[in-house]
């Protein structure tokens, strides 16, 4: 077992190194991309018709006259120490701005991923167990249609129905759970469902496919030949093996929700990180854009890494992929 | 069938199975009846599509819903289960009848500990058994099937088991519920030869000891000869012959059985007779052929001189041909008294060794490592024009690596490869690509070796196009090649999926011949084919070898085929040649313990030879990344002493005819012979010794 | 090709998808003939009207006919989607096949690069690229193409690797075929099916991304009508005139339903499970 422990360590180490390389590439891409954006900070900060001397002083102060590599390493080393710079427009450190918006984004993403996994897994398992029946056909068809509905438009329709016509739910904004849990739930409900919508369909589809895939495997026939009945088969044999692809996609979806909820946030005036980034892009706040993009990528990579490592728990083969069999 | 009053363990009467598919209903089993007595050992023999597995799956209630099953009765220990509900079937499965499947790599749940899987048949049927008792049972079962260190092994996962150990675990699992019937579906097909022999002896001993009735489903007549008392031969969804095993081999009553026996080369047979191939292919469905389903391929069904329209119009029924024997043929007597015509054909294959010409391929101390995996170690050999060199060995022995190195597809880590006295191991780019044309290969898998999006014409023309032939000569040569491999010209515009496996393999051979190469490497060219088709391909290769002046390397794990086709044979183990010599000499006086073990592990050619040679070795080939010191075989070798761990034996010549062996005891034939007569009980598998 | 078209036509969902898409393409191409008004004509005095006989879908805050703008919006949506997928597929397939077949450092470089691209949230990466390139039809398509390329790269690589493992590739190498010709003659044709499925799925994603970028004001600039932008405008007046938000979104959904149905049908066509109905013993 010592040998497989070492193999596991090697695997973890390999994955971490790989993730780190990707983050480095991303940081270079982000940095270069942002330096290609026309019109830099100075032209905005110095106001219209600035004095050349003022511009020069500003450029020197912000270090914009240094060669690009120097600027990159200054930024990257600061970032490594947790300093993503200070937004010249808002005048606050980027980390502080991110920290202020993070709870809203997390709250929305967690609510959405819970909705997506509960409904997605439930519906997918039902479809797989009733394969070929009208229930399966209904679920499969509904999935195709749901996957075609743009979730931000679904959010808008939700506002029209539940806020404008029925008046049951607010049309946007956020309330804190610590202030008023019920109000907070009301504000959270529509955006979370809208954000979860396509994930529900996608998870359901995947669960169905991966349960059916497992059902067709030899070990399932073998288990049935041992006298194992359907419920035990599902519970003890299939669930764990079918969980692997589902877990992967759930993790990736969560990572995307943390960064890609821009549209839902915009529709519902949700004060999250996505909107912060879009506002920063609109106002050409390069420091802030760099910071938030890096933040998203690192979170996404971290989640990816966690998923990969959790395979070891679900799939004993990976725990000792290099250990020989005897 | 026999007049015994004893109740059958499993009795099936007039079973019919059809599958609904997108292209209509396909009848796969048509009127199969049999009785299995308690403790009886029965074999079901047939090629793929004969309905042998489906029959047993139907009896166990394991067929999918798309199957339509009819029967007069299906009884298990007297209980009618034809229309039993799934819940009752689940109660019976694992407790009364259980099954061992073909592929041990996929039949265990990868994320469940072995112990839990082994104890599951008991756990699901008797909820009152405590977990402690279940664990004790699992350990006992692993011990019984010869898995070393059972307490540890029960806590491990399938990936920590080798193929042979997994199949042992699958057998333990099948027997743990103490069933009265055990069905084994091709239980050894996916395993290495030496491991096959171990599994055969486990199955044989346990089924006798526990008095379990066994049904062994197989395409391999050798397995039948080793394991069972009575045989049912299936063809196109019907039983065509049912007989005690010895009679089957001595005096087959059905033309199909007779043809199967005669189309099979065996390792113990000394001469190079031409194989009696069965022409054509088995039908796709049980009702596809009117009359006798075998008549289009049958040598007794008449020709222009004799009119036997009855074979084409009337379906023969099973009738008793001798006490305890039945067969379904209109001309049983004629078949049983037919003369053995083999001797007449013995001389048809020219002996090529004498006419061998100059050296076309020369490997000098060639090694190949993939990271820590030493796939090939200092292998030297020569191949002359007109000669066939057979290479045998189990998985990981390096035979496929050898082929790819010789082809120049991968560069060697060290050593030289000379083709026609020109070193290709140092060539690069265009020069290497041109040189590769002198060596061509016929691959194992006739499906993946042809581009599925190309017509046969384009596939055969491809090498000539690359070599720059003009259009006219390509089409002329293509016609020649089709003729040479025995394919009608109308196949040229078909796609590979429209051809049978054997026909595809013919295309692969035509493509390899297209550029008139000096060396042709055949990598297990028949192992993916059915027995009856395999003989057709071997015969074709015999013809080509006689006609073309290339050198052939024939890689195979089937020693029978290898002995049949080869002038010289090399035995490989862990990336080294351990023995090489002329075929007949090597097979008759093997010097290396591993060669001896391979030969002893090959299933018997006849039930009389059952247990003749007890030289069964333990374990399975070690991981090529982790080769033991000294002699690579020493951990499995019954002769091994200290010197084997200290010094690696080099190849030494032991006879005037170029017989070489790499063993410290290569001269000591007496110890080898002594070991061959040991009892199997003394050769229980042991855990691989640590380095 | 012909067989595939026939298959799609006889596929239940495939036919609906084909018809929906053909209808949408027809609308986009013949927009000037179909639309009752000029999309940018501002009819003063009739701002923010509800549905009526003169303006079936109502009018927007500048008094423009929403039906006409929805019809013209199909142009941006379909053409941006198609262009983005063509560019993205070309880029990704090149990266993937090269990586998969060459292996070694080429492979790791290409794959880390594609990991890097896919580590960004697609819409934010698109937004950032548009910020660099400036707003506009082609720029948006390029931004989306870059964001989509990893999907193609990963699939093409996997296909190339699994194809390269087949023995006929070794056979071709042994005949002296060069790597480039093996890629062109064997690997690409055999990978075409799954890649086409991915492309059809990607058209849907690209159309959605374009709508999203327009919604954020980073897509095609006004006054060119686009559905995303119309949805963004509608939000401001959602309390007065809900119909404004319904129709552009509905049009978008119809296109996506068509694309996804077609993609599903193509997957059924390509999926090997459908080719092996034989089933042995």
Write down the residue that tokens 């990963």 correspond to. C154
Contact assignment for A278 to C127 by CB distance below 8 Å: yes
Q: In terms of domains, do A187 and A57 share one?
A: no
Distance from CA of B433 to the nearest CA of C (A): 4
C-chain CB neighbours of A277 within 8 Å are 124, 127
Q: How far apart are CA A291 and CA B130, in angstroms?
A: 59
Supply the DSSP symbol for B251: S
Contacts with B115 (C-beta within 8 Å, 6 or more apart), sequence order: B135, B138, B139, B142, B153, B154, B155
Give dist(CA C13, CA A148) in Å, integer: 14
* Interchain CB contact of B452 with C (< 8 Å): yes
**Residue A203: inside a domain:** yes
Contact between residue A182 and residue A124 where contact means Cβ atoms under 8 Å apart: no
What are the sequence ranges of the domains in chain C? 2-27+65-278
Residues of chain A with C-beta less than 8 angstroms from the C-beta of C237: none
In angstroms, the CA C33 to CA C255 distance is 20
Return the H-helix or E-strand segment holding B35: strand B24-36
B95 touches chain A (CB under 8 A): yes
**Residue of B260, B235, B237, B238 lying closest to B249 (CA atoms):** B260
| Interface contact flag, A228 B124, Cβ < 8 Å | yes
Q: What is the pLDDT of residue B436?
A: 86
Please say whether the beta carbons of A86 and A61 come within 8 A: no
Average pLDDT over residues A81-95: 83
Kindly state whether residues A61 and A161 are assigned to the same domain.
Answer: no
pLDDT at A315: 66
Q: Average pLDDT for residues B406-427, to the nearest whole number?
A: 88
Partnered with residue B581 across adjacent β-strands are B569
Q: Please name which of B676, B644, B690 lies closest in space to residue B663, comparing C-alpha atoms.
A: B644
Tell me: do A164 and A21 sit in the same domain.
no
- Is A136 a member of any domain? yes
Helix (H, G, I), strand (E, B) or coil at B545: helix
CB contact A324 to B (< 8 Å): yes
Asked if A173 and A265 sit in the same domain, the reply is yes
Whether the pLDDT of residue A11 is over 80: the answer is: no
Q: What is the pLDDT of residues A98-139, one digit of tens each?
A: 999 999 999 999 999 999 999 999 999 999 988 888 999 899
C-proximal residues of A, 231-250, CB under 8 Å: none
Q: Which chains are adjacent to chain B, needing at least 3 Cβ pairs under 8 Å?
A: A, C
- Domain boundary (A80, A113, A142) is at A80
Q: How confident is the model at residue B683 (pLDDT cuts 50, 70, 90)?
A: very low
Q: Is A202 near chain C, with CB under 8 Å?
A: no
| Nearest alpha carbon to residue B149 among B513, B652, B690 | B690
Q: Is residue A303 part of a domain?
A: no
CA distance B97 to B84: 15
Residues 73-102 of C with CB under 8 A from B: none
Task: Please state the rounded mean pLDDT for residues A75-84.
Answer: 84
Q: What is the pLDDT of residue B553?
A: 94
- Give me the percent of chain B exceeding a pLDDT of 90: 38
Q: Indicate the length of chain C as a whole number.
A: 281
d(CA B545, CA B533): 19
Burial class (CB in 10 A: 0-12, 13-18, 19+), A107: buried
Whether A304 is in a domain gets the answer no
Q: Which residues pair with B148 in a beta bridge?
A: none
User: So what's the pLDDT on residue A323?
Assistant: 40
Predicted confidence at residue C222, as pLDDT, reads 80
Of B380-389, C117-126, C239-248, the one with minimum mean pLDDT is C239-248
CA distance C78 to C29: 10
Sign, CA dihedral B663-B666-B670-B672, equals positive
Site from A227, A238, A318 to mutate, B interface, most B CB atoms within 10 angstroms: A227
Q: Is B306 helix (H, G, I), strand (E, B) or coil?
A: coil
Q: Which residue in chain C is spatially nearest to B444 when comparing CA positions?
A: C167
Q: Which chains touch A (3+ CB pairs under 8 A)?
A: B, C
Last residue of a domain, one of A45, A80, A115: A80
Per-residue pLDDT at B32: 93
**Do A103 and A73 fall into the same domain?**
no
Burial class (CB in 10 A: 0-12, 13-18, 19+), B681: exposed
Q: Are A59 and A105 found together in one domain?
A: no
Q: Is pLDDT at B185 greater than 90 in this prediction?
A: yes
Whole-complex ipTM:
0.83
Q: Which residue of C has its CA nearest to A258?
A: C121
Of the candidates B202, B227, B197, B196, the one whose C-alpha atom is nearest the C-alpha of residue B214 is B227
Q: What is the pLDDT of residue C281?
A: 29
Q: Which residues contact B516 (CB under 8 A, 6 or more apart)?
A: B548, B550
- How far apart CA C225 and CA C208 sit, in angstroms, is 16
Task: Kindly state the average pLDDT of the residues B661-670.
Answer: 81
Domain C2-27+65-278 CATH assignment equals 2.160.10.10: no
User: Is A106 domain-assigned?
Assistant: yes
Q: pLDDT tens digit string along B559-597?
A: 888 888 888 999 999 899 999 998 888 888 888 989 988
The whole-angstrom distance between C257's CA and the closest CA on chain A is 5
CA distance B587 to chain C (A): 31
Task: Determine the pLDDT at residue C276.
Answer: 31
Give every CB contact of residue B273 below 8 A, 6+ residues apart in sequence: B342, B343, B345, B346, B348, B349
Q: Where does the pLDDT of residue B151 fall: very low under 50, low under 70, confident under 90, or very high at 90 and above?
A: very high
Q: Domains in chain B and their CATH numbers?
A: 10-236 (3.40.50.300), 246-344 (no CATH), 359-438+517-681 (3.40.50.300)
Q: Which of A220-229, B104-113, B257-266 has the lowest mean pLDDT?
A: B257-266
Q: Which of C176, C277, C279 sits opposite B433 (nearest CB)?
A: C176
The alpha-carbon gap from C86 to the nearest alpha carbon of chain A, in Å, equals 21
Q: Which two tokens stand for residue B273?
A: 């007779």
Q: What is the pLDDT of residues C98-126, one digit of tens each?
A: 888 788 888 888 888 888 898 888 888 89
CA distance B417 to A153: 67
Residue of C nearest to A253 (CA): C121
pLDDT of residue C93: 92
Quote the number of domains for chain A: 2
* One domain for residues A68 and A115: no
Contact: B160, A225; criterion CB under 8 Å: no
| Chain A interface, best mutation among C235, C258, C265, by max A CB count within 10 A | C235
C233, C244 contact by CB (below 8 A): yes
Distance of CA B368 to the CA centre of its chain: 28
Is B159 close to A325, i.e. CB distance below 8 A? yes
Say what the pLDDT of residue B674 is.
67
Judge residue C218's burial from the number of C-beta atoms within 10 Å of its C-beta, 0-12 exposed, 13-18 middle, 19 or more buried: buried
Domain with A23, as residue range(s), is 2-80
According to DSSP, the β-strands at B325-327 and B319-322 are: antiparallel
The candidate with the shortest Cα–Cα distance to A142, out of A213, A212, A208, A238, is: A208
CB of C3 within 8 Å of any CB in chain B? no
User: What is the model's pLDDT at position B303?
Assistant: 67
Q: Is the pLDDT of residue C243 over 90?
A: no
Strands B10-21 and B24-36: antiparallel
Q: Is residue A207 part of a domain?
A: yes
Do residues A263 and A123 both lie within one domain? yes
- Residue B301, beta-bridge partner list: none
DSSP codes of every residue in B291-359: SSTTGGG-TTS--SSS--HHHHHSPPPPEEEETTEEE--TTHHHHHH----HHHHGGGSPP-GGG--SE
The C-alpha atoms of residue B468 and residue B464 are separated, in whole angstroms, by: 6
- At A236-291, the pLDDT tens digits run 888 888 888 888 889 888 988 887 688 999 999 899 898 899 888 888 888 888 88
Does B53 contact C at CB distance below 8 Å?
Answer: yes
**Residue A26: which of B86, B585, C117, C239 has the closest Cα?**
C117
Q: Cα(B54)–Cα(B61) distance, rounded to whole angstroms?
A: 10
How far apart, in whole angstroms, are the C-alpha atoms of residue C249 and residue C215?
A: 11
Are A61 and A148 members of one domain?
Answer: no
Residue A319 is assigned to a structural domain of this protein: no
A165: its two tokens: 């016509």
> For residue A317, what pLDDT is reported?
61
Q: Is B410 on the interface with A (CB under 8 A)?
A: no
pLDDT at B347: 42
pLDDT band at B1 (very low <50, low <70, confident <90, very high): very low
Rounded CA separation B53/B51 (Å): 6
**Contact at 8 Å (CB) between B405 and B519?**
no
pLDDT of residue A1: 40
Q: CA–CA separation, B413 vs A314, rounded Å? A: 38
Question: What pLDDT is recorded for position B72?
Answer: 94
DSSP B212: -
Does the beta-carbon distance from B109 to A232 stay under 8 Å? no
For residue B280, is it left (φ>0), alpha (ψ between -120 and 50) or beta?
Answer: left
How many percent of chain B have pLDDT more than 70? 91
pLDDT, residue C28, reads 83
Identify the pLDDT of residue A47.
67
B110/A317 touch (CB, cutoff 8 Å), yes or no: yes
pLDDT at residue B621 in the model? 77
In a domain, A300, yes or no: no
Instruction: Using alpha carbons, list the distances in angstroms from residue B511 to B416, B449, B460, C171.
Output: 27, 11, 5, 9
Q: Which residues of B touch A226 (CB under 8 A)?
A: 93-94, 98, 120-121, 124, 173-174, 177
The average pLDDT across B35-64 equals 91
Does residue A322 surpass a pLDDT of 60?
no
Looking at residues B150-165, what average pLDDT do you find? Answer: 89
Residue C273 has pLDDT above 50, yes or no: no
| Per-residue model confidence (pLDDT) at position C57 | 72
pLDDT in tens, B488-544: 888 999 999 888 888 999 999 999 999 989 999 999 898 888 877 888 888 888 888
Residues A22 and A162 in one domain: no
Taking CA–CA distances from C241, the nearest residue in chain A reads: A160
* Averaged confidence pLDDT in chain A: 84
On whether both A63 and A110 belong to a single domain, the answer is: no
**Is the confidence at residue A2, as pLDDT, over 60?**
no
pLDDT at C279: 29
CB contact under 8 A, B110 and A315: yes
For chain C positions 12-31, those within 8 Å of chain A (CB to CB) are 13
Interface contact B101, partner A, CB < 8 A? yes
The predicted structure's pLDDT at residue C278: 29
CA–chain centroid gap for B17, Å, is: 27
pLDDT at B603 over 60: yes
- The alpha-carbon radius of gyration of chain A (Å, integer) is 25
Contact yes or no for C260 and A29 at CB 8 A:
no
The answer to whether B195 touches B163, Cβ cutoff 8 Å, is yes
The verdict on A76 and A133 lying in the same domain is no
């Amino acid at each position: 077992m010592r040998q497989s422990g070492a193999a596991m360590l090697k695997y973890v180490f390999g994955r971490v190194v790989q993730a780190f390389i990707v983050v480095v590439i991303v940081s270079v891409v982000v940095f270069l991309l942002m330096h290609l954006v026309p019109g830099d900070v100075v032209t905005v900060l110095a106001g219209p018709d600035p004095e050349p001397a003022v511009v020069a002083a500003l450029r020197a102060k912000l270090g914009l006259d240094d060669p690009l590599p120097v600027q990159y390493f200054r930024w990257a080393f600061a970032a490594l120490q947790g300093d993503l710079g200070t937004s010249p427009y808002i005048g606050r450190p980027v980390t502080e701005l991110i920290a202020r918006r993070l709870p809203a984004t997390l709250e929305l993403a967690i609510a959405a991923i819970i909705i997506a996994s509960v409904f997605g897994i439930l519906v997918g398992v039902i479809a797989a167990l009733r394969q070929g029946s009208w229930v399966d056909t209904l679920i499969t068809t509904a999935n195709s249609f749901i996957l075609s509905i743009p979730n931000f438009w679904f959010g808008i329709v939700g506002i029209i129905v539940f806020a404008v016509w029925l008046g049951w739910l607010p049309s946007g904004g956020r309330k804190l759970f610590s202030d008023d849990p019920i109000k907070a739930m009301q504000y959270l409900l529509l955006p979370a469902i809208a954000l979860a919508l396509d994930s529900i369909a996608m998870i359901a589809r995947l669960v169905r496919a991966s349960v059916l895939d497992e059902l067709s495997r030899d070990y399932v026939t073998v288990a049935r030949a041992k006298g194992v009945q359907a419920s035990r088969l599902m519970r003890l044999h299939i669930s764990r093996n079918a969980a692997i692809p589902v877990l992967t996609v759930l993790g990736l979806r969560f990572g995307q929700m943390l960064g890609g909820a821009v549209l839902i946030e915009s529709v519902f005036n949700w004060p999250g990180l996505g909107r912060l980034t879009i506002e920063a892009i609109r106002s050409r706040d390069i420091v802030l854009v760099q910071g938030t993009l890096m933040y998203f990528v690192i979170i996404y990579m971290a989640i990816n890494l966690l998923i990969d490592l959790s395979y070891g728990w679900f799939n004993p083969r990976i725990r000792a992929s290099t250990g020989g069999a005897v | 069938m026999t007049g015994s009053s004893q109740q059958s363990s499993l009795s099936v009467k007039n079973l019919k199975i059809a599958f609904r598919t997108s292209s209509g209903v396909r009848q796969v089993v048509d009127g199969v009846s049999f009785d299995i007595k308690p403790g009886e050992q029965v074999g079901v023999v047939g090629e793929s599509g004969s309905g042998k597995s489906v029959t047993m799956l139907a009896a166990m209630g394991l067929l999918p819903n798309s199957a339509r099953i009819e029967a007069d009765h299906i009884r298990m220990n007297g209980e009618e289960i034809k229309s039993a509900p799934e819940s009752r079937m689940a109660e019976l499965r694992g407790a009364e009848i259980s099954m061992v499947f073909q592929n041990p790599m996929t039949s265990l749940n990868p994320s469940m500990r072995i112990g839990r899987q082994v104890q599951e048949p008991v756990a699901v049927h008797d909820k009152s058994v405590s977990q402690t008792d279940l664990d004790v049972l699992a350990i006992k079962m692993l011990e019984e099937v010869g898995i070393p260190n059972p307490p540890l092994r029960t806590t491990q996962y399938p990936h920590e088991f080798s193929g042979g150990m997994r199949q042992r675990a699958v057998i333990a699992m099948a027997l743990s519920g103490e069933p009265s019937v055990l069905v084994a579906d091709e239980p050894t097909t996916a395993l290495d030869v030496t491991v096959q022999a171990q599994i055969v002896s486990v199955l044989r001993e346990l089924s006798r000891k526990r008095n379990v009735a066994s049904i062994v489903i197989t395409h391999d007549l050798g397995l039948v000869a080793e394991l069972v008392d009575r045989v049912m031969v299936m063809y196109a969804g019907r039983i065509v012959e049912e007989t005690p095993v010895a009679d089957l081999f001595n005096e087959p009553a059905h033309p199909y059985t007779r043809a199967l026996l005669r189309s099979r080369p065996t390792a113990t047979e000394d001469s190079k007779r031409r194989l009696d191939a069965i022409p054509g292919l088995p039908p796709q469905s049980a009702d596809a052929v009117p009359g006798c389903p075998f008549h289009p391929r049958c040598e007794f069904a008449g020709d222009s001189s004799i009119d036997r329209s009855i074979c084409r119009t009337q379906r023969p029924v099973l009738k008793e041909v001798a006490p305890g024997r039945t067969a379904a043929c209109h001309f049983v007597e004629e078949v049983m008294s037919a003369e053995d015509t083999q001797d007449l054909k013995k001389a048809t294959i020219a002996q090529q060794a004498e006419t061998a010409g100059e050296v076309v391929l020369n490997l000098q101390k060639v090694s190949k490592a993939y990271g820590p995996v030493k796939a090939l170690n200092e292998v030297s050999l020569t191949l002359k024009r007109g000669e066939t060199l057979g290479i045998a060995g189990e998985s990981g022995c390096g035979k496929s690596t050898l082929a790819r190195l010789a082809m120049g597809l991968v560069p060697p880590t060290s050593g030289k490869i000379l083709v026609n006295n020109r070193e290709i191991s140092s060539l690069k780019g265009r020069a290497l690509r041109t040189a590769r044309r002198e060596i061509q290969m016929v691959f194992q898998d006739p499906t993946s070796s042809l581009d599925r999006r190309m017509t046969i014409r384009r596939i055969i023309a491809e090498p000539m196009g690359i070599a720059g032939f003009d259009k006219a000569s390509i089409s002329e040569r293509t016609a020649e090649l089709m003729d040479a491999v025995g394919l009608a010209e109308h196949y040229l515009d078909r796609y590979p999926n429209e051809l049978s496996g054997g026909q595809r393999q013919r295309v692969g051979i035509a493509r390899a011949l297209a550029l008139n190469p000096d060396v042709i490497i055949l990598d297990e060219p028949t192992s993916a084919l059915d027995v009856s088709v395999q003989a057709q391909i071997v015969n074709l290769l015999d013809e080509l070898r006689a006609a073309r002046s290339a050198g052939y390397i024939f890689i195979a794990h089937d020693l029978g085929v290898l002995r049949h086709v080869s002038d010289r044979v090399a035995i490989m183990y862990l990336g080294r040649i351990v023995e090489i010599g002329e075929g007949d000499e090597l097979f008759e006086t093997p010097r290396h313990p591993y060669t001896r073990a391979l030969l002893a592990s090959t299933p018997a050619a006849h039930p009389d030879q059952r247990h003749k040679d007890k030289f069964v070795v333990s374990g399975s080939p070690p991981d090529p990344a982790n080769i033991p010191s000294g002699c690579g075989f020493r951990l499995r070798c019954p002769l091994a002493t200290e010197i084997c761990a200290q010094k690696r034996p080099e190849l030494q010549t032991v006879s005037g005819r170029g017989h070489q062996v790499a063993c410290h005891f290569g001269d000591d034939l007496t110890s080898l012979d002594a070991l061959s007569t040991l009892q199997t009980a003394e050769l229980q598998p042991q855990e691989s010794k640590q380095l | 090709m012909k067989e595939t078209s026939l298959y799609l036509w006889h596929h239940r969902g495939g036919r609906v998808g084909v018809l929906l898409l053909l209808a949408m393409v027809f609308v986009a191409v013949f927009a000037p003939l179909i639309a009752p008004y000029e999309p940018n004509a501002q009819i003063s005095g009739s701002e923010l009207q509800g549905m009526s006989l003169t303006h079936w879908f109502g009018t927007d805050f500048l008094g423009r006919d929403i039906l006409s703008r929805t019809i013209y919006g199909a142009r941006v949506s379909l053409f941006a989607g198609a262009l983005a997928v063509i560019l993205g597929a070309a880029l990704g397939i090149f990266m993937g096949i090269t990586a998969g077949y060459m292996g070694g450092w080429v492979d790791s470089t290409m794959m880390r690069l594609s990991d890097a691209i896919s580590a960004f949230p697609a819409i934010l990466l698109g937004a950032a690229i548009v910020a660099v390139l400036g707003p506009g039809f082609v720029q948006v398509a390029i931004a989306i193409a870059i964001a989509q390329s990893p999907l193609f790269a990963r699939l093409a690589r996997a296909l190339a690797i699994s194809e390269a493992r087949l023995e006929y590739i070794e056979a071709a190498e042994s005949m002296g075929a060069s790597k480039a010709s093996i890629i062109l003659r064997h690997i690409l044709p055999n990978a075409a099916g799954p890649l086409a499925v991915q492309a059809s799925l990607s058209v849907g994603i690209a159309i959605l991304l374009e709508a999203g970028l327009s919604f954020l004001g980073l897509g095609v600039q006004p006054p060119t009508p686009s559905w995303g932008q119309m949805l963004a405008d509608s939000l401001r007046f959602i309390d007065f005139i809900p119909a404004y938000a319904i129709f552009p979104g509905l049009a978008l959904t119809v296109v996506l339903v068509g694309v996804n149905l077609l993609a599903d049908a193509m997957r059924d066509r390509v999926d090997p499970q459908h080719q092996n109905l034989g089933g042995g013993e």
